[in-house]
Amino acid sequence: MSAGLPTLSQIRGVPRLFLSAFLITLTCGYLSGIYFVHLTTGNSPAGISQQFRGNESLPLEQVKEIKYPKSTREMLNIVHSHVTSFALIFFAVGAIFLLSSLPDGMKKFLLVEPFVATLLLFGGMVGVRYLPAGWALPLGILMMVAGITTFLVLLAMVGICLYEMWAGRPLTVRKAQAGPRSTG
């Protein structure tokens, strides 16, 4: 990182407690959102489609709860609030993660992926709602993949930050050595 800024393994005292409390609380909030998605969609492309397109065409015996297509106002509210929130979440976590010891290549991927995945996730959501029904399955799958990768990256960044702050040492990433190893 830049001269003058500490690495995560150098952070101690109140700053370490503050950053740790933030990361843990944020992760708990994110997990509650994942549980909400599970409750409303069943974590399936069909459930995603029903959540945004409605399920009133299905026989009543096949549904637990009648869902109507989301209105444009509801869709704008969901997309606006989530895209903005995700951007701020990953900006804040990324700012802390920049102080980690990971190589720049790994940092670049972990810092940029959640922003790309957020656009795919919520772009897919709009597509599920407004494109013809044939698009619902592939876009539902895209949403699931984007959501999973975003969550895994968040867990990786938070885990690495907490490890380096509390273990007091950088996380080492071993590179493959060229040639045969000597045991000598």
Is the pLDDT at 183 greater than 60, yes or no?
A: no
**Mean per-residue pLDDT for 18-38?**
98
Of 21-35, 51-65, 86-100, 112-126, the poorest mean pLDDT is in 51-65
Of 15-29, 42-56, 117-131, the poorest mean pLDDT is in 42-56
DSSP state string for 13-62: HHHHHHHHHHHHHHHHHHHHHHHHHHHHHTTSHHHHHHHHH--TTS-GGG
The pLDDT-based confidence of 43 (bands split at 50, 70, 90) is: very high
Is the pLDDT at 177 greater than 90, yes or no?
A: no
The pLDDT-based confidence of 169 (bands split at 50, 70, 90) is: confident
Neighbours of 96 (CB within 10 A): 20
Is the pLDDT at 1 greater than 70, yes or no?
A: no
Is the pLDDT at 103 greater than 90, yes or no?
A: yes
**Mean per-residue pLDDT for 35-50?**
95
Q: What's the predicted TM-score (pTM) here?
A: 0.86
Is the pLDDT at 153 greater than 90, yes or no?
A: yes
Q: For position 16, what pLDDT does the model report?
A: 96
Q: Which residues contact 11 (CB under 8 A, 6 or more apart)?
A: 19, 99, 165
Cα(156)–Cα(38) distance, integer angstroms: 21
Cα(44)–Cα(99) distance, integer angstroms: 37
**Mean per-residue pLDDT of the chain:** 92
Closest CA to 169 of 3, 7, 5: 7
The pLDDT-based confidence of 118 (bands split at 50, 70, 90) is: very high
For residue 124 the two structure tokens come to 């897919």
Q: For position 60, what pLDDT does the model report?
A: 81
